[in-house]
Structure 1
Amino acid sequence: MVDVTDHELVPEHELIEEEVLEGVLEEYDIDRTDLPKIKRRDPATPDGAQPGDVVKVTRDSRTTDQAIVYRLVVE
Protein backbone atom coordinates (compact mmCIF):
# COMPACT_ATOMS: atom_id res chain seq x y z
CA MET A 1 0.00 0.00 0.00
CA VAL A 2 1.20 3.51 -0.80
CA ASP A 3 1.82 6.02 2.01
CA VAL A 4 0.28 9.25 0.68
CA THR A 5 2.09 11.35 3.27
CA ASP A 6 5.34 10.68 1.41
CA HIS A 7 4.01 12.11 -1.86
CA GLU A 8 5.53 15.43 -2.91
CA LEU A 9 2.14 17.05 -3.49
CA VAL A 10 0.78 16.27 -0.01
CA PRO A 11 1.61 19.13 2.38
CA GLU A 12 3.01 18.48 5.85
CA HIS A 13 0.36 17.58 8.44
CA GLU A 14 1.25 17.60 12.14
CA LEU A 15 -0.67 17.52 15.39
CA ILE A 16 -0.24 20.65 17.48
CA GLU A 17 -0.05 20.95 21.25
CA GLU A 18 -2.88 22.48 23.26
CA GLU A 19 -0.70 25.44 24.34
CA VAL A 20 0.04 26.33 20.71
CA LEU A 21 -3.61 25.88 19.77
CA GLU A 22 -4.77 28.24 22.52
CA GLY A 23 -2.47 30.94 21.13
CA VAL A 24 -3.80 30.45 17.59
CA LEU A 25 -7.42 30.53 18.68
CA GLU A 26 -6.81 33.66 20.73
CA GLU A 27 -4.92 35.37 17.89
CA TYR A 28 -7.81 34.84 15.46
CA ASP A 29 -10.54 35.21 18.13
CA ILE A 30 -12.23 31.93 17.16
CA ASP A 31 -13.31 28.69 18.82
CA ARG A 32 -11.94 25.25 18.00
CA THR A 33 -15.22 24.37 16.26
CA ASP A 34 -14.83 27.34 13.88
CA LEU A 35 -11.82 25.67 12.23
CA PRO A 36 -12.21 23.80 8.93
CA LYS A 37 -12.55 20.06 9.41
CA ILE A 38 -10.48 17.02 8.40
CA LYS A 39 -11.68 13.46 8.81
CA ARG A 40 -9.77 11.19 11.16
CA ARG A 41 -9.55 8.59 8.40
CA ASP A 42 -8.15 11.01 5.81
CA PRO A 43 -4.90 9.42 4.59
CA ALA A 44 -2.96 12.63 5.29
CA THR A 45 -4.11 12.88 8.91
CA PRO A 46 -1.21 12.05 11.27
CA ASP A 47 -1.21 8.67 13.01
CA GLY A 48 -2.76 8.85 16.43
CA ALA A 49 -5.01 11.82 15.63
CA GLN A 50 -8.30 11.64 17.51
CA PRO A 51 -11.52 13.62 17.06
CA GLY A 52 -11.07 17.01 18.74
CA ASP A 53 -7.33 17.23 17.93
CA VAL A 54 -6.08 20.01 15.65
CA VAL A 55 -3.73 19.44 12.72
CA LYS A 56 -1.39 22.11 11.37
CA VAL A 57 -1.06 21.91 7.58
CA THR A 58 1.96 23.67 6.07
CA ARG A 59 1.98 24.00 2.30
CA ASP A 60 4.18 25.86 -0.13
CA SER A 61 2.82 29.15 -1.42
CA ARG A 62 3.97 31.26 -4.34
CA THR A 63 3.01 34.48 -2.58
CA THR A 64 3.96 33.91 1.06
CA ASP A 65 6.56 31.12 0.80
CA GLN A 66 4.52 28.99 3.23
CA ALA A 67 0.82 28.92 4.00
CA ILE A 68 -0.27 27.51 7.35
CA VAL A 69 -3.83 26.37 8.00
CA TYR A 70 -5.37 24.50 10.90
CA ARG A 71 -7.91 21.69 10.69
CA LEU A 72 -10.09 20.16 13.41
CA VAL A 73 -10.08 16.36 13.35
CA VAL A 74 -13.59 14.91 13.20
CA GLU A 75 -14.92 11.36 13.01
Structure 2
Amino acid sequence: MVDVSQHTLVPEHTVLDDPARVEEVLEEYNVSKTNLPKIKKSDPALRDTDAEPGDIVKIVRDSRTTDRAVVYRLVVE
Protein backbone atom coordinates (compact mmCIF):
# COMPACT_ATOMS: atom_id res chain seq x y z
CA MET A 1 0.00 0.00 0.00
CA VAL A 2 1.23 3.49 -0.87
CA ASP A 3 1.90 5.94 1.97
CA VAL A 4 0.22 9.08 0.61
CA SER A 5 1.72 11.34 3.28
CA GLN A 6 5.23 10.65 1.89
CA HIS A 7 4.35 11.53 -1.73
CA THR A 8 6.29 14.43 -3.23
CA LEU A 9 3.10 16.32 -4.12
CA VAL A 10 1.68 16.25 -0.57
CA PRO A 11 2.72 19.42 1.30
CA GLU A 12 4.16 19.39 4.80
CA HIS A 13 1.47 19.08 7.53
CA THR A 14 2.36 20.07 11.11
CA VAL A 15 0.06 20.08 14.14
CA LEU A 16 0.30 23.28 16.18
CA ASP A 17 0.58 21.93 19.70
CA ASP A 18 1.72 25.13 21.45
CA PRO A 19 -1.38 27.02 22.73
CA ALA A 20 0.50 30.33 22.51
CA ARG A 21 1.27 29.71 18.83
CA VAL A 22 -2.39 28.81 18.16
CA GLU A 23 -3.54 32.09 19.73
CA GLU A 24 -0.91 33.99 17.75
CA VAL A 25 -2.20 32.52 14.47
CA LEU A 26 -5.83 33.23 15.33
CA GLU A 27 -5.00 36.83 16.28
CA GLU A 28 -2.88 37.33 13.16
CA TYR A 29 -5.80 36.38 10.91
CA ASN A 30 -8.45 37.83 13.26
CA VAL A 31 -10.52 34.62 13.24
CA SER A 32 -11.73 31.99 15.66
CA LYS A 33 -10.94 28.29 15.26
CA THR A 34 -14.34 27.60 13.73
CA ASN A 35 -13.73 30.20 10.98
CA LEU A 36 -10.70 28.30 9.66
CA PRO A 37 -11.07 25.98 6.68
CA LYS A 38 -11.56 22.35 7.75
CA ILE A 39 -9.58 19.15 7.19
CA LYS A 40 -10.91 15.73 8.17
CA LYS A 41 -9.02 13.66 10.71
CA SER A 42 -9.24 10.79 8.22
CA ASP A 43 -7.38 12.77 5.51
CA PRO A 44 -4.47 10.59 4.31
CA ALA A 45 -2.04 13.51 4.66
CA LEU A 46 -2.64 13.46 8.44
CA ARG A 47 -1.86 9.74 8.79
CA ASP A 48 1.62 10.28 10.31
CA THR A 49 0.55 13.10 12.65
CA ASP A 50 -1.13 12.95 16.03
CA ALA A 51 -3.89 15.36 14.91
CA GLU A 52 -7.15 15.20 16.84
CA PRO A 53 -10.44 17.03 16.20
CA GLY A 54 -10.06 20.62 17.40
CA ASP A 55 -6.35 20.84 16.55
CA ILE A 56 -4.98 23.33 14.04
CA VAL A 57 -2.71 22.04 11.29
CA LYS A 58 -0.14 24.23 9.54
CA ILE A 59 0.29 23.32 5.86
CA VAL A 60 3.30 24.61 3.93
CA ARG A 61 2.87 24.42 0.15
CA ASP A 62 5.10 25.35 -2.76
CA SER A 63 3.80 28.41 -4.58
CA ARG A 64 4.69 29.85 -7.98
CA THR A 65 4.08 33.42 -6.86
CA THR A 66 5.42 33.50 -3.30
CA ASP A 67 7.80 30.52 -3.33
CA ARG A 68 5.92 28.99 -0.42
CA ALA A 69 2.44 29.47 1.03
CA VAL A 70 1.41 28.75 4.62
CA VAL A 71 -2.22 27.89 5.35
CA TYR A 72 -3.99 26.65 8.47
CA ARG A 73 -6.80 24.10 8.81
CA LEU A 74 -9.00 23.00 11.71
CA VAL A 75 -9.12 19.22 12.18
CA VAL A 76 -12.68 17.84 12.31
CA GLU A 77 -14.17 14.34 12.60
TM-score normalised by the shorter chain: which range applies? over 0.9
In 2, the alpha carbon distance for the partners of 1:72 and 1:66 equals: 20
- Structure 1: 5+ residue stretches without partners: none
% identical equivalent positions: 61
Off by >3 Å, runs of 4+ in structure 1: none
The 5 Å alignment of 1:1-75 reads: 1-16=1-16, 17-45=18-46, 46-75=48-77
Normalization by structure 2: what TM-score?
0.91
Q: Is the 8 A contact 2:57 2:72 kept in 1?
A: yes
When normalised by structure 1's length, the TM-score is 0.94
CA RMSD of aligned residues (A): 0.9
Q: Which stretches in structure 2 are left out of the alignment for 5+ residues?
A: none
Give the 3-state SS of the residue equivalent to 2:44 in structure 1.
coil
Cα deviation for residue 27 of structure 1 reads: 1.1
